[in-house]
Amino acid sequence: MPPDGHIRLLPNHVANKIAAGEVVERPASVLKELLENAIDAGATRIDVTVTAGGRKLVSVRDNGCGMNREDALLSLERHATSKIRDVDDIERIATLGFRGEAVPSIASVSRFTLTTRRADADAGTRLVVNAGVLAEVKDCGAPPGTCVEVRDLFCNVPARRKFLRAFATEEGHVRSTFTVHALAHPDVGFSLTLDGRETYRLPPGATLEERVRDIFGASFAESLMPVASDANGVRVHGYAERPGGDTSLRRDQFVFVNGRPATSTAIAYALREARPRQRAEARPALVLFIDLPPEQVDVNVHPAKREVRFRRPADVRDAIIAAFAPESGERVVLDAPPPETAERVVPNTPPPEPFSVPFQPSFPSHSTAESDDLVAPPPPAVAQPTEDPPLQTATGPWRWFNFLAQTASGWVLLETDAGLVTLNPRAARERIAYEKLIDAQETLSQPLLIPETVTLPPSESSRIRNFLNELRAVGFAVEEFGRDTWKVDAVPALLAGDHVPELLASIAADISEAGARRGGTRWRDEIVAQSVARAHSRSSLQLSPEAATRLVEDLARTRMPYVCPRGRPIMIFTSNSELLRKFDR
């Protein structure tokens, strides 16, 4: 508070900058507000152009109703809107934008140009605003509709500009914002051009199924099934991943309330009840629409309108659960191997003789895992020194082991010198394959008898395009074959016979999930190798004692036999002393 303690009205340019802090977080926030205005204007065609992740330019052109000069000037004033008239209208909002803050807030922190014309007008109007100061108003030639160009975002707020992330990160948020609005309105045609490259061109008048296919590709669309319910004035409809499906390529959930991308605690709870997860990282992919009377939902509870509140949340929960009801009886255990891939224990059959293998490892030592559940290595066996190398130590998870059995659920049971080990063979194979790919000087490729062409969504194509060198390094022969289409001539020998489209999409998803957290050349190699190794580990073979023994021996030769490349335990160890204690001995 100033020293004199007096209260003053803030100047408009200061108030607008403060409002911009709530409305404009990053370039994607600008795009969201402009898309909502275009849709509310009745546009059937919206073209988006973005440069440098939105830092340099965010442009939205529509063929909506447009504005005359008076309305265009009023749009620059705070709380000026055509979408509500009195306080009662707030209780039944049916439009996306309604506060009248977006345009003045954006114009206050950018170089802003608005060009607009009504269909019945002879000329259009162009407004130029530089960092909140109206610089130009003039007539101009323009097609019916509105075009807004936002350049140099946060040009007058350098502190805010410093908080923007890398171009690729901001571009990812722009893609996400564009995607949710294009999904929400399949009847509207959309296009997105990024740095001069047309990424999407979506036709108007599409069905939801066609829009999903156009954005995410046929593979994702075919993994979905329709869901629907209509009760107590709440209509739920859309598509959800089939139970037991393996859409490892994406786990996106898009939820729309009266056409608005939004969520609430009631929706999150209902989705958990309707489709309980079968494993921690798996949630069903879905595109879900919830429609109800506007007066039954409050969209004004969040500054960015991301969350909504329902007047009768129980009705919404029941409608969502009912939409999934036809599939609710099916439960699929995704982590268990298929029945034909695991040895079954036959009642009254004596167990096989232990398959004993003495083991003296000769690979470099590695730090033990932090968890007590993992195998702690025995004291190191000391190698004999020579005149040329210094003294080396070698250690492994055990000095010797006996293969005991493979359970019906697929776990491998081992007896070791220090206790009992339960081992996950899939995680073991993933670790072995990962280190082979990372350490290989020359990776073996398996040429395909018939080259495969794979069409990916633009966002996934962009990730593959940026990681081509890393893909080739692990054995892929892949090249661009038209717009967002790739020709694959060879795959790593480990993956011979795998489904190539799903494999590429899975790698793109892994890159996306890890891309915001780490960087560097070595990391890029590792993320591709990790994805390929996981794909290799999906195949599960019946393990004979000999095969299990080879697997365990190969695992023991790795640098980190305790956890898979994703950091999950490969084995659980129960020491002899713990067994004695638990049996009161």
* pLDDT at 221 > cutoff 50: yes
Tens-place pLDDT, residues 326-358: 654 333 332 333 333 333 333 333 333 434 444
Which pLDDT value is given to residue 526?
A: 75
Intervals of CATH 3.30.230.10 along the chain? 210-327
Tokens 């598509």 label which residue?
239
CA distances from residue 533 to 183, 405, 406, 428 in whole angstroms, order as listed? 33, 25, 22, 10
DSSP E strand stretches across 142-285: 145-151, 189-194, 197-202, 224-231, 234-241, 253-257, 260-261
Q: How many CA atoms lie less than 13 Å away from 172 in the CB half-sphere?
A: 16
C-alpha span between 317 and 321 (Å, rounded): 6
Tens-place pLDDT, residues 279-332: 544 578 899 999 998 888 877 666 556 778 888 989 999 999 999 886 543 333
- Into which CATH architecture does domain 444-538 fall? 2-Layer Sandwich (3.30)
A 10 A CB-CB count for 583 gives 7
How does DSSP classify residue 307?
B
CA distances from residue 145 to 43, 62, 76 in whole angstroms, order as listed? 8, 6, 17
- Given a contact cutoff of 8 angstroms between Cβ atoms, the answer to whether 290 and 319 are in contact is yes
Tokens 């390529």 label which residue?
249
A 10 A CB-CB count for 332 gives 11
The CATH number, out of the four listed (3.10.20.30, 3.40.630.10, 3.40.50.20, 3.30.565.10), of the domain defined by the range 12-203: 3.30.565.10
- The residues facing 356 across adjacent strands are 402
A 10 A CB-CB count for 343 gives 16
Residue 465: both structure tokens together: 């395009």
Range from 179-188, 331-340, 386-395 that averages highest in pLDDT: 179-188
Tell me the one-letter amino acid at 457: P
Tens-place pLDDT, residues 350-379: 333 434 444 433 333 333 333 333 333 333
Intervals of CATH 3.30.1370.100 along the chain? 444-538
Looking at residues 540-562, what average pLDDT do you find?
85
* pLDDT at 90 > cutoff 80: no
160-166: long-range contacts, CB 8 A cutoff, minimum separation 24: 160/21, 160/109, 161/55, 164/26, 164/27, 164/53, 164/55, 165/26, 166/53
Length of the chain: 585
Look up the pTM and report it.
Answer: 0.66
210-327 adopts what CATH topology? Ribosomal Protein S5; domain 2 (3.30.230)
Which pLDDT value is given to residue 457?
A: 75
Intervals of CATH 3.30.565.10 along the chain? 12-203
C-alpha span between 276 and 328 (Å, rounded): 9
